[in-house]
Structure formats: structure tokens, C-alpha cells
Amino acid sequence: MTLDKLPVGHTATITAVGGEGPLRCRLLDMGLIPGTAVTVRKVAPMGDPMELRLRGYELTIRLADAEKIETDAQEGTA
């Protein structure tokens, strides 16, 4: 399941980071690397952006970027 589909309050571990070039590097630089546990804290009222908690800090990213991050959460069981 990709990170954009993870429900609020649920935690999953990042398994892969997609994207190309500068976007992928930016996501990795922000700490979104495979093996990292991430919790969805909030989603904006209109659905974009979403706030994540990882590595002891909060990070807000766009849903378009979250779509590129694979997690170990199973569809329908998150």
C-alpha cells in the first residue's frame, strides 16, 4: 500500500521510495527511507497535504509525493 492510502492514526514501515531525480533525493533527505516507521497524524480538510510523524518529528507532504512511497501495510487491514 502506498503512503497516501494509509489511514490517519495508523503506522507502517516504508519499504520503497519511488520518484525520479530531485524528487526522490528530496524525499530521502527528509528521512523517508526504507525501514523507517511512519505514522499518519493528520490530513488536511480538502485531503492534501498530509502530516506524518517519523524519526521524532512531524513532516507535511503532498499526496502526489506520498503516492510514490510504498509501505508494508496491507490494503484493507491498515
Given a contact cutoff of 8 angstroms between Cβ atoms, the answer to whether 69 and 5 are in contact is no
Residue 17 has pLDDT above 80, yes or no: yes
* Distance of alpha carbon 77 from alpha carbon 59, whole angstroms: 24
Given a contact cutoff of 8 angstroms between Cβ atoms, the answer to whether 65 and 54 are in contact is no
* Distance of alpha carbon 73 from alpha carbon 24, whole angstroms: 21
The predicted model scores a pTM of 0.84
pLDDT of 73 reads: 82
- Which has more confidence, 30 or 77? 30
Given a contact cutoff of 8 angstroms between Cβ atoms, the answer to whether 4 and 18 are in contact is no
Q: The cell 525501514 sits on which residue? A: 35
Q: What is the pLDDT of residues 18-66, one digit of tens each?
A: 988 899 999 999 999 999 999 999 999 887 899 999 999 999 999 999 9
Amino acid identity of residue 40, one-letter, is V
Residue 76 has pLDDT above 70, yes or no: no
